Structure 1
Amino acid sequence: MNRPELPRRARSTVAVLALVVSAVLAAPTAASARTAPAAAPTAVTAPTAPTTSVVTWGASADRLDAAVPARTHRIVVHTSAGGSGLRIRLSNAFGEQPVTFGRAYAGVRASGAALVPGTNRALTFRGAASVTVPPGGSVYSDPLRGSVRPAADLAVSVYVQDAAGTATGHRMGLQTSYIAPAGDHAAEESGTAYTQRTTFRYYLDAVVVDAPRGTGAVVALGDSITDGAISTADANRRWPDFLAERLRNDRRTTLKGVANEGISGNKVLSDGAGVSALKRLDRDVLSQRGLRTVILLEGVNDIKATPAPTAAQVIDGYREIIRRSHAAGACVVGATVMPYQGWEEWNESGEAVRQAVNAFVRESHAFDAVVDFDAAVKDPAAPAKFLPAYDSGDHLHPNDAGMKAMSDAVDIGGLRCDR
Structure 2
Amino acid sequence: MTGRTGRGCRIAAALLTTVACQPKAVGADALPASAERASGVVTWAASADHIGEGIAGRSYRLIVHTSVGGTGLRVRVTNAFGDRPLTLDSGYVGRSGRAALRPGSNRRLTFGGARTLTVPVGAVAWSDPLPGTWPAGTDLAVSLHTPDAAGPASGHLLAMQTSYTGPGDHTAEESARNWDWTTGSWWYLDAVSVRPSRAATGAVVALGDSLTDGRRSTPDLNRRWPDYLARRLHTARTEVKGVADEGVSGNQVLADDAGPSALERLDRDVLSQPGVRTVFLFEGVNDVKAHTGVTAADLIAGYQEIAQRVHSAGKCVVVATVGPFKGWPEWDPAAESVRQEVNRLLRGSRGFDALTDFDRVLRSPQDPERILPSFDSGDHLHPDDRGMRALADAVDPDHLNCAR
- Tell me the TM-score normalized by structure 2: 0.91
CA–CA distance in 2 between the matches of 1:279 and 1:159?
30
Q: Which residue of 2 aligns with 1:21?
A: none
Give the 3-state SS of the residue equivalent to 1:339 in structure 2: coil
The answer to whether structure 1 residue 90 and structure 2 residue 77 are counterparts is: yes
Q: Give the Cα separation in 2 of the matches to 1:316 and 1:174.
A: 32
Alignment match, 1:362? 347
Name the CA distance, whole Å, in 2 between partners of 1:29 and 1:184. 27
Which amino acid in 2 is paired with 1:270?
A
- Structure 1: 4+ residue segments shifted above 2 A: 24-34
- Indicate whether 1:136 and 2:122 are aligned: yes
Match of 1:350 in 2: 335
Secondary structure, in 3 states, of the residue corresponding to 1:386?
coil
Q: CA deviation at 1:25?
A: 2.2
Match of 1:194 in 2: 179
| Residue identity in the other structure for 1:91 | T
Work out the CA distance in 1 between the residues paired with 2:385 and 2:194: 28
Shift of 1:332: 0.3
Alpha-carbon offset, residue 52 of structure 1: 7.6
SS of the equivalent of 1:194 reads coil
Matches within 5 A, 1:49-60: 53-60=40-47
In 2, the alpha carbon distance for the partners of 1:177 and 1:411 equals 33
Secondary structure of the equivalent of 1:115?
coil
Q: Which position in structure 2 is the counterpart of 1:234?
A: 220
d(CA) in 2 for partners of 1:204, 1:217: 19
Answer whether contact 1:26 1:143 (CA < 8 A) is retained. Answer: no
1:382 is aligned to 367
- Quote the residue 2:135 is aligned against: 149
Unaligned runs of 5+ in 2: 1-13
Quickly say closer, same or farther: Cα 1:26–1:412, change in 2 above 3 A: farther
User: 1:51 offset after TM fit, Å?
Assistant: 8.9
Q: CA deviation at 1:416?
A: 2.5
Contact 1:52 1:214 in 2 (8 A): no
Measure, in 2, the Cα distance between the counterparts of 1:51 and 1:314.
36
Query: Conserved in 1, the CA contact under 8 Å of 2:238 and 2:401?
Result: no
Superposed, 1:179-258 pairs within 5 Å as 179-180=165-166, 182-211=167-196, 212-250=198-236, 252-258=237-243
TM-score, normalised by the number of residues in structure 1? 0.88
Supply the distance in 1 between the matched residues of 2:291 and 2:374 (Cα, whole angstroms). Answer: 30
1:396 counterpart residue number: 381
Q: Does 1:99 align with 2:89?
A: no
Aligned-partner SS, 2:15:
coil
- For 1:339, the equivalent position in structure 2 comes to 324
Fraction of identical pairs, as percent:
54
Amino acid paired to 1:185: H
Find the counterpart in structure 1 of residue 6 from structure 2.
none
Shift of 1:418: 3.4
Q: For residues 51-77 of structure 1, give each alpha carbon's deviation from its aligned partner in whole angstroms, at most 9, with x where no partner exists.
A: 981000000001111111111000000
Q: Choose from 289, 292, 307 the match for 1:307.
A: 292
Counterpart Cα distance in 2 of 1:374 and 1:30:
39
Of 2, 8, 15, the match for 1:25: 15
CA distance in 1, matches of 2:26, 2:269: 15
Deviations 1:288-311 (A, max 9, x none): 000000000110000000323011
